[in-house]
Amino acid sequence: MTTMARGATTGSAGARSTGVARVPGGVAPVPAGPAGPAGTGEGVPGQAVSAGAAAGRGSEIRRHELATFLRSRRERITPEQVGLPRGRRRRTPGLRREEVAQLSAVGVTWYTWLEQARDIQVSEQVLDALARTLLLDAGERAHLFQLAGAVDPSPAAQCSGITPALRLMLRQLEPVPACIQNSRYDILAYNRTYARLMMRDLDAVPPADRNCLVLAYTNAEWRESIVFLDEAMRLMAARLRVSMAGHLGEPAWKMLVKRLRTESAEFREIWERYEVVSARGKTKQFVSPYVGLVTVDHTDLWLAPAQGARMVTYPPADEQSRRRLERLHEIALEAEAGESGAA
């Protein structure tokens, strides 16, 4: 390394053509500046070097900001929040690095390097896992991806395709439960009756987890509400495979499948069957935690077939279900009024 640096400084012309810049772990050649008129090689000295140095400095600053941000979020989370025992000899505030790595399914050494601001590549899948492990809210998640120089493929952020008119339609459909989903089963918007049909309050679920597949395979409360759970899981996985054929290689789709395969043995087994099925309406039954058994007719109203966006509606299939949905709507309104009064 010393020989390279000494040889590069022999003469000013040699310095322009074979200069070196120190980088982590050693030295690397720096391209010469732009050539001057008539190929004389007398360009603007240091112009390309300065641009490269500025870009490198910016990347270094972002890596240090990312490292600091991760440490701060790791230290604020208690082991109990993520289902880990505290132990008697814990001195580290919050979680340990190895605990974050384990919960995020990444290597301990790799995560340590990330917190040390090492120059390493971070995929969208890993950032998504870290965001969930560190219990980041929507703003913190967006900040994490921005610091990492990555695009967040998750629908957790506000979806620009959900217009005020569509939200108004969801409200006006009440007491009929309704939501807007994309072809990945991400729940992008929903009305108050839908929020309480299959669990006590969908609003309490983090936006990154508001996905019908994730809920059906991993959320105990959601699973308990579906009368024919095994059939529902099989059909959703088969429909996902059909939809995914048009999105192979896209990060958001790969992240969803990887997450489901990691968190659910049931999904792994069903996914390996390679079943496919086309979309179709059907009668479904749910056991609401508030009003009991409800029988509904699942109907898809397609908003943008090319993107797979659809409004999913659950009109009652019988008179008893109609009355129970009306009562569910009343419960939702009462809850909303109580929250407004408390504020």
For 128-180, give the DSSP string: HHHHHHTT--HHHHHHHHHHTT-----TTSPPTT--HHHHHHHHHTTTS-EEE
Residue 269 CA to residue 216 CA, distance in Å, equals 15
Residue 212's CB is within 10 A of a number of other CB atoms, namely 19
The reported pLDDT for the residue numbered 54 is 63
Q: Is the pLDDT of residue 69 over 50?
A: yes
> Which of 55-69, 106-120, 151-165: highest mean pLDDT?
106-120
Report the share of the chain in percent with pLDDT over 90.
48
pLDDT at 318 over 50: yes
| Least confident range of 94-103, 213-222, 264-273 | 94-103
What are phi and psi for residue 100, nearest 5 degrees?
Answer: -65, -45
d(CA 36, CA 39): 6
Q: Which has more confidence, 295 or 163? A: 295
* pTM of this prediction exceeds 0.75: no
What pLDDT is stored for residue 140 in this prediction? 86
Q: What is the pLDDT of residues 143-188, one digit of tens each?
A: 888 888 887 776 544 455 788 899 999 999 999 999 999 989 999 9
Give the pLDDT band (50/70/90) at residue 343: low
